[in-house]
């Protein structure tokens, strides 16, 4: 039943009955309001064939504009679609291209791809293909280019909606009888709860328009709901009335939290500019050097940072605050194995150092979104290790002190966020390097499905297993950064086509009470120290209250693929890929200058003399273990497995060694730290570590959640629900 919860709003006069929606889980989807469809001389006017009727379709634009403004004010996700084809028309079927042109008594005198007054009709990149100026998308709003009438065929719309946790859709656009209702019908099949705003759509045949809309809500809501825009737009004043008047006294910027919400609120009033925030950041960095001097390998100069801040201020000085880029004036850092143009990349190894002329795509995307790069962070040498104690630039300690390790290999990236020197940072994660530092420093560490974020411009540790990771204070901050980075890279050989990733049915009830989880068998948890086990048990109990379902404790037999993957990573031949990735010649010629633990590790691999055939044997074992994991997570066509679960819940780490302990037993403790992180990329899974309580010694406990390939959005939904549970307890 479509019933309310505390955070939900409703359209009371919707048909066939009241339509409830949670703004946080709802997307306004504006269908095809392009020049080609609503301006004269485009494909729409040809399709319509009646100038008077066509002119009336333009009347929906002011209505959609009001709906769009309200949606932005309410915090809805916004998605725009554009129908069109590649310039070579390779995605245009013969039937679509020729059918209407071949009609004996038809009026289609110009076909798709042919030259019209606004360029080639329905061709991407042409003037007529773009969205009209009145509805111009904001930088963070998704734009879906579709070759068909519906918005899901041959697009990544479903994945975009999953990534944002969307369960409800409000639809506007053109034309009603074609693209709008086609999208609504297909969204219904995919589990989304849809409402079409009747006066926010227009079509070329009034009878067809009314019949199409009536069919959506017919038979007690066969395909969804319909409503009028007036009731939706009326929701905005109620929201505004609840907004607290900002204080007259400006906040003390030296103590302000650097999370995204705090910075956006700061910039919204225009009392502060990016240069003010960057001055505070630089001051914090200088002060923190007294406590933890080894966070950075390369800091940009104060002059460079302040110049970037001033360019941002000038570029957006006349733009309304609500239209500023998502990361406007947000400070960030990257691990020093990620390229930044004209800054040295060392991977914490001077002999490996080079100066790139181009930034990695992940860096360029963040800067384009308004973020300001502060510098490059310390790391375990060549991204080898989970300790933060393997760098010639000095060891890093946890922000919680007492001689405890920071975790690695993305040590500096984790500490910089935990110390609130920056808003977020990028690390890398091959075997846990994006999650262990998060757990040991009390922050969020998100490792997306490998191949979904570009790894170009990243020094490889193990190319088939590497992924860029995100550190942030909150799940929501990590998610917003991920939305910017989550796009395929055709020039990255390991990048995944989004259309090859599995999708899940949407559940309009949301995630709370509607997910399943399991935990490792007792044998796997034996290495977890008692105080960390206590924290884990408390977290599991909390998850049972959120999921409304008891956990499943995996048997030793069922857990076998995770153990297999862990064994393959370092004890099998997969470790040989590290040599191939870093370079056999480089390692053999520079072995003596490597950090002692790194040297021991690679010498051991060099001395194994494993037969070539064992590589293929291990690859087969990896594929078999991956398929078993897919079955456990119910991926794709395996979703019918009765005992499948959404997430595997683990302690991110089961201990927190001191630097002294780590240096005494570097390999043994490294393996122990990776007990619940090593297998994720081997099995092609996504994962996140979130803070959940404290040990008896006052150290943070990191809860690890592991999801199936491509299920990043659902994983983040669950992580946010758990985080919200913790927020209420505090």
- Is the pLDDT at 199 greater than 60, yes or no? yes
Q: Quick one: 505 and 483 in the same domain?
A: no
Mean pLDDT of 273-281: 96
Q: Is residue 99 part of a domain?
A: no
Which pLDDT score is estimated for 636?
Answer: 59
Which pLDDT score is estimated for 164?
Answer: 96
- Is the pLDDT at 468 greater than 80, yes or no? yes
Mean pLDDT of 408-435: 98
Q: Quick one: 318 and 210 in the same domain?
A: no
User: Which stretches of 482-551 are assigned E, i.e. beta strand?
Assistant: 517-519
Q: What residue numbers bound the domain in which 575 lies?
A: 499-729
Q: Quick one: 681 and 717 in the same domain?
A: yes
Catalytic residue chosen out of the listed positions 151, 433, 495, 504: 433
* Closest of 8, 146, 5 to residue 86, by C-alpha: 146
Catalytic residue chosen out of the listed positions 146, 335, 420, 480: 335
* Closest of 281, 324, 334 to residue 306, by C-alpha: 281
Q: Quick one: 455 and 578 in the same domain?
A: no
Which pLDDT score is estimated for 548?
Answer: 66
Q: Quick one: 711 and 571 in the same domain?
A: yes
Number of domains comprising the chain: 3
- Is the pLDDT at 62 greater than 50, yes or no? yes
Q: Is residue 419 part of a domain?
A: yes
Question: CATH code at 631?
Answer: 3.90.1300.10
Q: Which residue has the higher pLDDT, 60 or 46?
A: 60
- Looking at the chain, the whole-number percentage of residues with pLDDT higher than 90 is 82
Which pLDDT score is estimated for 356?
Answer: 98
- Is the pLDDT at 545 greater than 50, yes or no? yes
Last residue of a domain, one of 241, 269, 285: 241
Q: Is residue 510 part of a domain?
A: yes
Task: Evaluate the CA torsion angle 175, 178, 181, 187 in order and state its sign.
Answer: negative
Which pLDDT score is estimated for 118?
Answer: 92
Q: Which residue has the higher pLDDT, 54 or 306?
A: 306
- Coil, helix or strand at residue 421: coil
Q: Quick one: 228 and 327 in the same domain?
A: no
Contact residues for 86 (Cβ-Cβ < 8 A; gap 6+): 92, 123, 124, 147
Range scoring the smallest mean pLDDT among 42-51, 226-235, 310-319:
42-51
Q: Is residue 253 part of a domain?
A: no
Q: Quick one: 514 and 612 in the same domain?
A: yes
Question: CATH code at 148?
Answer: 3.40.50.850
Which pLDDT score is estimated for 249?
Answer: 61
Q: Quick one: 190 and 295 in the same domain?
A: no
Q: Which residue has the higher pLDDT, 43 or 589?
A: 589
Q: Is residue 202 part of a domain?
A: yes
Residue 409 annotated as catalytic: yes
- Is the pLDDT at 618 greater than 60, yes or no? yes
Q: Quick one: 538 and 442 in the same domain?
A: no
Catalytic residue chosen out of the listed positions 409, 425, 454, 689: 409
Range scoring the smallest mean pLDDT among 72-76, 107-111, 473-477, 722-726:
107-111
- Is the pLDDT at 176 greater than 70, yes or no? yes
Q: Is residue 312 part of a domain?
A: yes
- Residues for the chain: how many in total? 730
Q: 469 falls in which pLDDT band (50, 70, 90)?
A: very high
Which pLDDT score is estimated for 243?
Answer: 45
Last residue of a domain, one of 178, 211, 241: 241
Q: Quick one: 332 and 471 in the same domain?
A: yes
Q: Which residues of 9-22 are buried (b: 16+ CB within 10 A; e: fewer)?
A: bebeebbeeebbbb
Range scoring the smallest mean pLDDT among 1-10, 180-189, 250-259, 424-433:
1-10
- Is the pLDDT at 117 greater than 60, yes or no? yes
Q: Quick one: 205 and 311 in the same domain?
A: no
- Is the pLDDT at 3 greater than 80, yes or no? no
Which pLDDT score is estimated for 244?
Answer: 46
Residue 581 annotated as catalytic: no
Angle at 40 between CA 169 and CA 68, to 5 degrees: 25
Mean pLDDT of 82-96: 95
Q: Is residue 87 part of a domain?
A: yes
pLDDT digits (tens, 9 = 90+) for 229-252: 999 999 986 554 444 445 556 667
Radius of gyration over every alpha carbon of the chain, rounded to an integer in angstroms: 27
- Coil, helix or strand at residue 70: helix
Which pLDDT score is estimated for 268?
Answer: 86
pLDDT digits (tens, 9 = 90+) for 137-159: 998 999 999 999 999 999 999 99
Q: Quick one: 470 and 508 in the same domain?
A: no
Mean pLDDT of 680-696: 97
Q: 552 falls in which pLDDT band (50, 70, 90)?
A: confident
Mean pLDDT of 351-359: 98
Residue 335 annotated as catalytic: yes
Q: 106 falls in which pLDDT band (50, 70, 90)?
A: confident
């Amino acid at each position: 039943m479509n019933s309310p919860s505390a955070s939900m709003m409703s359209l009371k006069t919707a048909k066939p009955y009241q339509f409830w929606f949670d703004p946080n889980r709802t997307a306004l989807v504006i269908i095809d309001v392009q020049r080609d469809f609503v301006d004269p001389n485009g494909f729409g006017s040809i399709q319509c064939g009646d100038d008077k009727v066509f002119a009336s379709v333009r009347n929906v634009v002011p209505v959609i504009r009001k709906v769009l403004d309200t949606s932005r004010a309410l915090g809805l996700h916004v998605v725009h679609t554009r129908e069109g084809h590649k310039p070579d028309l390779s995605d245009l079927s013969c039937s679509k291209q020729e059918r209407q042109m071949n009609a004996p008594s038809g009026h289609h005198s110009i076909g798709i791809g042919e030259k019209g007054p606004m360029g080639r009709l329905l061709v991407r990149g042409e003037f007529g293909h773009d969205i009209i100026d009145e509805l111009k998308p904001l930088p963070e709003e998704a734009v879906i280019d579709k070759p068909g009438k519906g918005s899901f065929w041959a697009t990544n719309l479903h994945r975009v909606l999953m990534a944002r946790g969307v369960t409800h859709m409000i639809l506007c656009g053109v034309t009603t009888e074609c693209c709008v209702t086609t999208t609504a019908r297909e969204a219904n099949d995919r589990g989304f709860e849809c409402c079409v705003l009747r006066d926010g759509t227009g079509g070329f045949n009034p009878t067809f328009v009314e019949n199409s809309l009536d069919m959506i809500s017919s038979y007690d809501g066969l395909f969804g709901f319909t409503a009028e825009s007036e009731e939706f737009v009326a929701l905005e004043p109620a929201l505004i009335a609840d907004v607290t008047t900002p204080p007259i006294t400006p906040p003390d910027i030296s103590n302000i939290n650097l999370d995204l919400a705090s910075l956006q609120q700061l910039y919204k009033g225009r009392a502060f500019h990016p240069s003010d925030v960057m001055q505070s950041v630089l001051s914090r960095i200088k002060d923190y050097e007294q406590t933890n001097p080894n966070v950075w390998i390369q800091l940009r100069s104060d002059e460079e940072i302040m110049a970037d801040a001033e360019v941002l201020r000038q570029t957006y000085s006349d733009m309304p605050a609500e239209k500023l880029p998502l990361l406007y004036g947000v400070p960030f850092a990257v691990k020093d194995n990620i390229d930044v143009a004209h800054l040295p990349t060392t991977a914490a190894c001077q002999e490996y150092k080079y100066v790139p002329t181009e930034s990695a795509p992940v860096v360029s995307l963040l800067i384009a979104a308004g973020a300001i790069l502060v510098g490059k962070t310390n790391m375990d040498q060549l991204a080898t290790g989970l300790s933060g104690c393997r760098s010639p630039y000095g060891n890093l300690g946890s922000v919680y002190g007492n001689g405890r390790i920071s975790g690695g290999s993305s040590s500096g990236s984790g500490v910089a966020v935990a110390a609130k020197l920056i808003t977020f940072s990028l690390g890398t994660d091959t075997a846990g390097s994006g999650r262990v530092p998060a757990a040991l420093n009390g922050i969020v560490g998100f490792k997306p499905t490998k191949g979904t974020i570009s790894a170009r411009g990243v020094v490889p540790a193990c190319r088939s297993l590497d992924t860029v990771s995100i550190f942030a204070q909150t799940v929501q901050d990590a998610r917003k950064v991920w939305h910017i980075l989550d796009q395929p890279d055709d020039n990255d050989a390991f990048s995944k086509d989004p259309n090859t990733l599995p999708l899940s049915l949407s559940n309009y009830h949301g995630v709370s009470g509607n997910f399943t989880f399991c935990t490792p068998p007792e044998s796997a948890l034996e290495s977890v120290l008692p105080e960390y086990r206590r924290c884990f048990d408390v977290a599991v109990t909390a998850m049972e209250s959120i999921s409304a379902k008891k956990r499943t404790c995996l048997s030793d037999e069922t857990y076998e693929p995770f153990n297999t993957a862990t064994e393959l990573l370092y004890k099998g031949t997969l470790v040989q890929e590290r040599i191939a990735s870093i370079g056999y010649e480089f390692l053999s010629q520079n072995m003596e200058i490597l950090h002692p633990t790194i040297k021991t590790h690679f010498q051991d691999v060099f001395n194994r003399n494993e037969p070539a055939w064992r590589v293929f044997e291990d690859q087969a074992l990896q594929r078999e273990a991956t398929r078993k994991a897919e079955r456990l997570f119910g991926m794709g066509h395996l979703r019918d497995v009765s005992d499948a679960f959404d997430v595997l819940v683990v302690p991110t780490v089961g201990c927190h060694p001191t630097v002294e302990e780590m240096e005494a037993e570097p390999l043994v403790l490294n393996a122990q730290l990776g007990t619940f992180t090593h297998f994720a990329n081997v099995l092609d899974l996504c994962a996140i570590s979130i803070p959940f309580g404290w040990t008896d010694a006052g150290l943070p406990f990191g809860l690890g959640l592991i999801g199936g390939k491509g299920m990043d959005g659902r994983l983040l939904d669950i992580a946010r629900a758990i985080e919200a549970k913790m927020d209420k307890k505090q």
